[in-house]
Amino acid sequence: MGVYAQTNFAITCTDNKTAKRVAKILRTQGDVESGNMYGRDIKTIGNDVFGFADSGRIQNLEFQCRAIWDAVQNLDGVLEGNFPFLSEADGLYFERDN
């Protein structure tokens, strides 16, 4: 049995154009059949992209958040991703390697 966890994540970009590219990637590359989702309720506000992800196991949510970050981290203009977990776990924070 796992512990349910969820996150309302934010990905910060240098400009709105990059944020829209990130949102498009997250909306179009999710693979529901294999269970690898790139988040739901994806929206942009200014230079930020916001979304929601959840899982019945914290470890699965960590995997999903890493997959989301891996899908966008190498785009020019992507600065950081913040994935705070609502559960007994700590959550994840990513910063772009230069």
> The domain that contains 46 carries what CATH number?
3.30.70
Which residue range(s) make up the domain with 82? Answer: 5-95
- pTM given for the model: 0.82
Averaged pLDDT, 36-48: 86
For residue 21, the model assigns a pLDDT of 96
Structure tokens at 77: 């203009």
DSSP track, 20-89: HHHHHHHHHS-BTTTTB---EEEEEETTEEEEEEEESSHHHHHHHHHHHHHHHTTSTTEEEEEE-EESSS
Q: What percent of the chain has pLDDT over 90?
A: 51
Number of domains the chain is built from: 1
**Of residues 39 and 80, which shows the higher confidence score?**
80
**Of residues 4 and 77, which shows the higher confidence score?**
77
- Does residue 40 have a pLDDT over 90? no
For residue 89, the model assigns a pLDDT of 53
